[in-house]
Structure 1
Amino acid sequence: MSTRWQPIPIHTIEGFRIGHSTNLDAATGCTVIVAPEGATGGVDVRGGAPASRETDLLRPENTVEVVNAVCLSGGSAFGLEAASGVARELEARGIGLDVGVARVPIVCSSCIFDLAFGSATVRPGVAEGIEATRAALDTEPAPVAEGTVGAGTGATVGKLNGPTTLMKGGLGARARAAGELKIGAISVVNACGNVVDPTTGAAIAGMRAAADSLEIVSMEDAMLAAVEHLAMPLDRTNTTISCIITNARLTKAQATKLAQMAADAYAHTIRPTHTTNDGDTIYVLASGALGDRAFPLDMLGVAATRVLEEAICAGCLSADGIHGAPAFKNLHN
């Protein structure tokens, strides 16, 4: 990335607070990105099997202009309940859309499928959503934990040949600044495919050659070789879900376009990506803390793509192996 764009901690982007709820025993959790003063939102959904809430509100033609939080969660569709906990906690703090008789927090949410990795019966719910929201709002801003934490606790990658040869994915959080302009990404990497370094093509995590091997093999090549006999052992159980945050001011249409552009990061780092078994989703939240200063949308799109690439890689590089699934760290220790 250009030397004008310097790395910064993602928690220093104005207008946002971030918190986790983690259950290592059950290998699941949730992560909340809160915009206490509200943020303009957009979304791009490209996977074939998304589990999501309130994404239609972000369509540019719809009337709700401000988002209060994005909840990324494990637990598949059950995990959408965590967003209700986020909404309850925000309502208790007077945060939400004023509808006269109440304040209704606008909470968007997407989930990964982690039920087959840890516990199939323990999922993030209302209590975990509340816990993550309190962690975001009741503690001093601090560097965001990465790897096997929050919504990334049960994330795995490289699943063509089933659970015996997959590797650990995780949650990554990266940000950059060019002067006062800041942009960051949080990504929960639970992809069907392998994760690679986009600058070198080297594998970071993915499908291993055998259950007792730490050699990562090309999943794309394996899929092409299968031809007529390709079958996913766990259909619709993969998803990379991400949230781009920025202190720039954007319209809903611009935030939507930014999310679409940032989806290139998935293609650059995940192979294969956007399969029928993935629910890939990207949110964008723009706090507008920089006021009315305008920045070229295409430039912001490139910056968002680059920082999301970094977050995706960081999610796997930072992950710890749990429940028998090795991580990148195991390959290099």
Structure 2
Amino acid sequence: MTGVLRRSGPRNLLTDVEGIAVGHAADERLGSGTTVVLCDAPATAAVHVQGGAPGTRETDLLDPDKTVAGVDALVLSGGSAFGLDAASGAQAWLRERGRGFAVGEIRVPIVPAAILFDLGPGESWERYPPYRELGYEAASAARADFELGSVGAGAGATTATFKGGLGSASVVLPNSVTVAALAAANALGSATVGTTRHFWAAPFEVDGEFGGLGMPLPMPNDAGEPRTKLAPSPGANTTIAVVATDARLDKAQAKRLAVAAHDGFARALWPAHTPFDGDLVFALATGRNEAELSPQDWVLMGAAAAAVMARAIARGVHSAAPLPGDRKPAWRTAR
């Protein structure tokens, strides 16, 4: 078959997976924000970390041998460890609506979270950082249609060469299963080849979704040289992401999908998974599609997870908006 990974969903967003909504909130003064992925009903979830510097909340619950069967939401946030507070805001929003598993008369929403480091030298607040309120606002704003670029968890993102951002992409497979990704690209490395504007993810691009430039020809002699933002701070990094499907998966199968999606990091970023990135992928399975999965389907789902992740990362960088005080140029304005 040809073109099996070329058919995007109607929105080309994570929300092409039925049962998912996405919302953003940001603090313009801080240049940082939060993205919440809401599940209409508890969804099977897993996580896989390949970066050396992750920041997480409640990810142990997602191991296949742990009791919790589903999550109510996932949170991606800027703010380094302070950003983990965003999950409390999303949890409060869900609890107000009676969501969560019952413990007597109490409802406990399950909201795992991951953070990236986008703190600037001038960031300050009084007793508590703003991320709890940002998490509540992002949950309140969750919709099927959402913006990309310098929004939510991508508001303060950068890469080695250009601004980073929040990106998303989807694909509908021949068996009708949808696989989609959402990524906040804040990598130590670069999403583009050498000093060019060509994306490493170009072989997976669909319908010119991140500029349609393809790969550079000829390939620059220095294309393989790692470009990083180790200076001035080796810790201001991390790409965090979600891969989702409407297929019926258990937690172990969802974990395999998260593992496969990390291949998309390696296809879209050079270098990736460094000791100074907390590179992490959550996997969600809503189970709305009852298609039986053959061995060939499983192989294709893994390839789809990697492809949509690479596309989501590139779309995040491509969509970033130029703003006053930027630490890196926006791709769309650079020449």
State the TM-score bracket (shorter-chain normalisation): 0.7 to 0.9
Question: Is the CA contact 1:97–1:105 (under 8 Å) kept in the aligned structure 2?
Answer: yes
Is residue 330 of structure 1 aligned with residue 325 of structure 2? no
- Structure number with higher strand proportion: 1
Q: How many residues align?
A: 304
Residue 117 (structure 2) aligns with = 113
Uncovered stretches (5+) of structure 2, i.e. residues with no partner:
193-198, 205-209, 211-219
Instruction: Provide the TM-score with structure 2 as the length reference.
Output: 0.84
Is residue 125 of structure 1 aligned with residue 131 of structure 2? yes
Question: Is the CA contact 2:48–2:255 (under 8 Å) kept in the aligned structure 1?
Answer: yes
Residue 188 (structure 2) aligns with = 192
More moved, 305-314 vs 15-24: 15-24
Residue 207 (structure 2) aligns with = none
Question: Is the CA contact 1:195–1:313 (under 8 Å) kept in the aligned structure 2?
Answer: yes
CA drift at 1:222: 5.7
Q: Partner of 1:303: helix, strand, or coil?
A: helix
Q: Partner of 1:221: helix, strand, or coil?
A: coil
Uncovered stretches (5+) of structure 1, i.e. residues with no partner:
159-165, 205-215, 225-229
CA–CA distance in structure 2, aligned partners of residues 291 and 93 of structure 1: 28
CA drift at 1:315: 0.3
Over 3 Å counting, the alpha-carbon distance change for 1:287 and 1:21 in structure 2 is same
Residue 207 (structure 1) aligns with = none
Instruction: Provide the TM-score with structure 1 as the length reference.
Output: 0.84
| 1:176 counterpart (171, 181, 188) | 171
Over 3 Å counting, the alpha-carbon distance change for 1:223 and 1:307 in structure 2 is closer
CA–CA distance in structure 2, aligned partners of residues 108 and 269 of structure 1: 25
Structure 1 residue ranges, 4+ long, deviating more than 6 angstroms after superposition: none
Q: Partner of 2:304: helix, strand, or coil?
A: helix
Is residue 28 of structure 1 aligned with residue 29 of structure 2? no
Provide, for residues 63-91 of structure 1, a one-character-per-residue CA deviation record: whole Å limited to 9, x for no partner.
11101111000100000000000011101
Is residue 148 of structure 1 aligned with residue 160 of structure 2? no
Matches within 5 A, 1:1-333: 2-3=3-4, 5-8=6-9, 9=11, 10=13, 11-116=15-120, 119-121=122-124, 123-136=129-142, 141-158=143-160, 166-178=161-173, 180-196=176-192, 197=199, 198-199=201-202, 221=225, 232-291=231-290, 293-294=292-293, 296-322=297-323, 323-324=325-326, 325-332=328-335
Q: Partner of 2:191: helix, strand, or coil?
A: strand
Over 3 Å counting, the alpha-carbon distance change for 1:217 and 1:321 in structure 2 is farther
Residue 161 (structure 1) aligns with = none
Over 3 Å counting, the alpha-carbon distance change for 1:65 and 1:233 in structure 2 is same
Please, what is the CA RMSD of the aligned residues? 2.6
